[in-house]
Amino acid sequence: MNPEDEERAARLTLSFLAEPGEPALGALLRCCRPAEVVAAVMSGNEPRTALPAAAELSGLARAVRRWRSRLGRLPSAAALAAWERDGIRLLCPGDAEWPTQLAVLADAQPVVLWLRGGADLRYACLRSVSVVGARAATGYGEHVATEMAAALAERGWAVISGGAYGIDSAAHCGALGAEGITVAVLASGLGYGYPKGHLELFSAIAGQGVLVSEWPPDRGPTRPGFLVRNRLIAALSCGTVVVEAALRSGALSTARHARDLCRPLMAVPGPVTSGQSEGCHEIIREWGAVLVTGARDVIENVSPAGDGLDARRIGPVYPRDNLDPVTLAVLEAVPPRGGSGPASVAVAAGVDLNTVLRCLGELAAAGFVERCAQGWRLRKDA
């Protein structure tokens, strides 16, 4: 096994043994390669670490023993193959699609991410907003979340949320309805699918965006898992908007992560007579969250200074020569007007359909191409 494959295999293994957000794993990966940690777990010995404090060492030893006790969780080859057939793929730090946004987590990065869906996670996150809020949303909140997500998507921004009922669902649906990219970051495995009532929504997101989880595909949700997941929602996006949240809503934990990560934090006000807006008002007043009333305000807050203020300039345009040769070939096969379907683009570019779909998603997120009635065309301002 070459070193790269060895690292992937080790990270996959650790994904099944350690809980996302466990500090011991971060501490170990600061000084050991993943394969060394796995070897230590398998052998029952401590890994060769160079950690200073004995106390911390003993905590790590406990963690290694805990992971060893979970070796039964490791998946069979058949299970891995089945997930792959379901379109679930493993993403590791260092992969081209690994979100650069996650650098903000420093040593607390996920050991792996599990993905399902055609959109490129890294491209999507580069130009994305998290739109979150209460499960028990009001009609007002769902309306605002849907409209905001649709308007963000129309302006080329990906919408990130948590796949839950209420505001999350409204945000995903708004982006999907506007034919935009949406990212659902789940607190359970992608093969498990929680909540069950959203399996259809998750299929739609996989078709047009991407589903993300730190948990292995077979894992169900746990209460602390939601809080761990929330840090990822805040970290992946350029900024977080809370649409509706009661004072003790979980959405405020996402807001707290955004604030702590120094990412723009925004909130939508609502009637002061509505308990579901109390959390929004609280973070505007007490945390300095910026009051936003729509997508325009949001874009002003998450765009680099001066960007996004000009209504004609819809988004950043990356230089073509940063594109890899295959993506560039796809871009050159997209017509400037009229529009072509993915199959025609695939023929023109000489690549297979899956690659075309993935490249088009990347190119759209990067502002080169846009969907139209006839398929895809170059964006006029690109």
Residue ranges in contact with its own copies by CB under 8 A: 140, 143-144, 268-273, 277-278, 281, 284-285, 290-291, 293-294, 297
Q: Rounded distance, CA 221 to CA 193, Å?
A: 9
Task: Output the smallest distance, CB 302 to its own copies, in A.
Answer: 15
Task: Output the smallest distance, CB 164 to its own copies, in A.
Answer: 22
Task: Output the smallest distance, CB 171 to its own copies, in A.
Answer: 15
Q: In terms of CB distance, is 301 or 344 closer to its own copies?
A: 301
Task: Output the smallest distance, CB 311 to its own copies, in A.
Answer: 18
Task: Output the smallest distance, CB 278 to its own copies, in A.
Answer: 7
Q: Rounded distance, CA 216 to CA 225, Å?
A: 12
Task: Output the smallest distance, CB 281 to its own copies, in A.
Answer: 5
Structure tokens at 218: 């077979």
3-state per-residue secondary structure call for the chain = CCHHHHHHHHHHHHHHHCCCCCHHHHHHHCCCCHHHHHHHHHHCCCCCCCCCCHHHHHHHHHHHHHHHCCHHHCCCHHHHHHHHHCCEEEECCCCCCCCHHHHHHHHHCCCCEEEECCCCHHHHHHCEEEEECCCCCCHHHHHHHHHHHHHHHHCCCEEEECCCCCHHHHHHHHHHHCCCCEEEEECCCCCCCCCHHHHHHHHHHHHHCEEEECCCCCCCCCHHHHHHHHHHHHHHCCCEEECCCCCCCCHHHHHHHHHHCCCCEEECCCCCCCHHHHHHHHHHHHCCCEECCCHHHHHHHHCCCCCCCCCCCCCCCCCHHHCCHHHHHHHHHCCCCCCECHHHHHHHHCCCHHHHHHHHHHHHHCCCEEEECCEEEECCCC
Q: In terms of CB distance, is 279 or 342 closer to its own copies?
A: 279
Q: In terms of CB distance, is 96 or 311 closer to its own copies?
A: 311
CB-based contact 255:268 (threshold 8 Å): no
Q: In terms of CB distance, is 113 or 159 closer to its own copies?
A: 159
Q: In terms of CB distance, is 154 or 278 closer to its own copies?
A: 278
Q: In terms of CB distance, is 159 or 364 closer to its own copies?
A: 159
Task: Output the smallest distance, CB 257 to its own copies, in A.
Answer: 22
Name the pairing type of β-strands 158-161 and 182-186: parallel
Task: Output the smallest distance, CB 284 to its own copies, in A.
Answer: 5
Task: Output the smallest distance, CB 149 to its own copies, in A.
Answer: 14
Q: In terms of CB distance, is 61 or 290 closer to its own copies?
A: 290
Q: In terms of CB distance, is 206 or 295 closer to its own copies?
A: 295
Q: In terms of CB distance, is 102 or 284 closer to its own copies?
A: 284
